[in-house]
Structure 1
Amino acid sequence: MTDFTLRATTSLEYDDALALVRSLLADAGFGVLTEIDIRATLKTKLDVDVAPQVILGACRPQLAHVALEAEPSIAALLPCNVVVRALPEGGSVVEAVDPDVMMSVAGDGSAADALRTVATDARQRLTQALGALPGQTVEAH
């Protein structure tokens, strides 16, 4: 399978990891537009228990604007999803959709050039944020 996420595993427990990820995303210029509590949703809808897990919809408006100007349909791939999940053995995993995935649908030409610039910037910022987690390893996954 092709790598489609940037992944960091940290020794931080879930609540601490989630709080720090929010802060690190803000430091990298991202705002959180949406938040989906997977654990709560699956408990409510299916009455099943899963490990704590949240999807944060992170957006850097400047990058989103450039991407949308280049290719309006790219909106279907926005915002950048960042998942924070508790690990059964302790610690947490943080995964973000790799912005380079956007390039697989970009095609050629000036739109692709603009999207490549956006993807490179977003990837650098997300990698920096994940890399700032304590006790972590970052990898494409």
Structure 2
Amino acid sequence: MDNGFTPMNEDEVLFVDRGRVLMNNPTFKVSEFLDQLAQVISEQSDEWSEDSEAWFDEGLECEALRFNSGTGWQRGRVRIRLEFAPARQPERLPERSSARQPEPLTRLEPLSDRPRPRNIDDIYADEDNY
């Protein structure tokens, strides 16, 4: 069961605000995290060698007992990768909310029923004496 997780590419960027390990900054590339993980493992292991780098690159030769494949032990390679699962999409709100209904549009008046502007030359009222 993968729960929606998919492998991340090494050039993708993560922002981890809480619960982060190995990284000082909350924003980092996947490759930076994997490099830091390899560094910590190599410092704590007396048996770390160039071959051990395969855990993070092309994969380390191994045999795996795969339960779902029905073939028993399989020869192959294994490597360490990060996976990402997007958060569930929020549910869409209904088109119309019962809390507040929009008011209907008022009917527009035809242009012929509107008062016409006065003549531009007649900008002064009759009582104006200039």
Q: Give the shorter-chain TM-score range.
A: under 0.3
Q: Structure 2 length as normaliser, TM-score?
A: 0.24
Select the structure that is richer in strand: 1
- Give the structure, 1 or 2, with the largest relative contact order (CA under 8 Å, sep 6 or more): 1
Q: Structure 1 length as normaliser, TM-score?
A: 0.23
Select the structure that is richer in helix: 1
